[in-house]
Structure 1
Amino acid sequence: MAYDRYVAICRPLHYGTLMGTRACIKMAAAAWASGFLYALLHTANTFSIPLCQGNVLDQFFCEIPQILKLSCSHSYLREVGLLVVSTSLVFGCFIFIVLSYVQIFTAVLRMPSEQGRHKAFSMCLPHLAVVSLFVSTGLFAHLKPSSISSPALDLVVAIQYSMIPPAVNPLLYSMRNKELKDALRKLILVVVVKQQ
C-alpha cells in the first residue's frame, strides 16, 4: 500500500507502468506467500513445544506469548527465535513504510496547490494511522516486560492489534467515498431527529 501511494504521488506519470497488473499480482502473491509461511512456521513450532502447565489459555484465541508461558522446557527458544525474526521483519517493513511516507510527504509539501496537498494527505493518512496502530500495539504485546503483564492487559492488547485495525481499515478508506459520507450524514440526521 505504501509503495502504491509512493508511486501515485511521487511518480504519477509512471504509475501505469510501475503498478501494472503483473506488479500487483507479484505483490499480492508475495504478501500471501509470506503470510502463509509465517503462519506455517509458527504453527509447526507451537505444536512441537511440550506443555506441562496444562493447555488452558486465559484468552479466546492462541497468542504465542501466552503459549510460551505454558511451556516447561527450553525448546521454546526456537519459538522465541522465530519471534525475534518476525519482529525484525515487521520492523523492516515498518522502516520501508516510513521511508516511503517521508518521500511522499516531501513531495506533497512541494505541491503548489492547496487542494492537491489536501487530496494527497487524505489519501495517505488513513493507511499510515492503521499501520502505526497495528505495529505499535503488536510490538507492545510481544515485547512488553513480564512485570507489567496481566491477563486483562494481555487480552486488551491482543484484541487491539488483532481486531481493531482490520475493523477500522474499511471505514477509514470508505470515508473518502462521497456517497458513503452523504449516507452517513443522513443516518446521523435521522438518529438525531428521532431522539428529539
Structure 2
Amino acid sequence: MQLKKGFLPIFAGMPVLLIAWIVGNAYVHFILLYLTTDEIVFGELPKYQTIVRDMVAYMLIEEVGLYYVHRLFHEWKAGYRVVHKLHHKFTSPVPLQALHCHPLDQVIINFTPLLAGPLIMQSHILTFALWITFSFVNTLVSHSGYNFVTVMNPDMHDLHHEHPECNYGYLGILDYLHGTYRVRLNEVRRDLGDKS
C-alpha cells in the first residue's frame, strides 16, 4: 500500500472536497424539499422494528445502486477519466479524503445510492437521519485503514483504491455474485487469528 507522507497531500485536496461537499449537500436538500412528504417529516415516530427493517432495506438498496453506478464509472473510460478518477488520486485513503471527488461523483455515485433507500421506503426523517449518520461514519471508517466493526471493510475498500477493477459495492454481495470481490489472503488470515 502506497502511503503519502505528511499532511500536505491531505490538505491540498480540501478545496475539491469542499466543492463536492457543497454540491452534495445542495442535492440532499433538494431531495428533502421536493421529493418527501409532510408525513415523512412530521409523522409519528417509527417503532424500532420499522427503523431496523428500513435500515436493512437501505443497505440492500445502496448495495445495488452503488455497485452498478460505481462499476459503470470504472468501466466507462470517459466517466472514469473525467469524473471518478479524482477519487482514486489517493491509493491509501484517509478519512479526510473519503469524499475527495468530482461534484458529479458526489451526486451520482455517493449520494444517489445513499438516498435511494429512504426515498423508496418513504421512511420517517428520524430513520433517514440515523441512516445518513451511520453511512458517513461507515464511509470515514472504510477510508481510515483501521479494521473496526463496520459494514464496509476497510481492507476491501483499500484494495479497491489500489486495484480499481474490484470491490465496487457497499456490502460485497454483488461483487461476489459478479466475480469482482477480492481480498488479500494475508488479511483474511490476520482477521481469523491465523499466525502462520
Name which structure has the greater RCO, CA cutoff 8 Å, separation 6+. Answer: 2
User: Of Structure 1 and Structure 2, which has the larger fraction of its residues in helix?
Assistant: 1
Q: TM-score when scaled to structure 2?
A: 0.29
Q: TM-score when scaled to structure 1?
A: 0.29
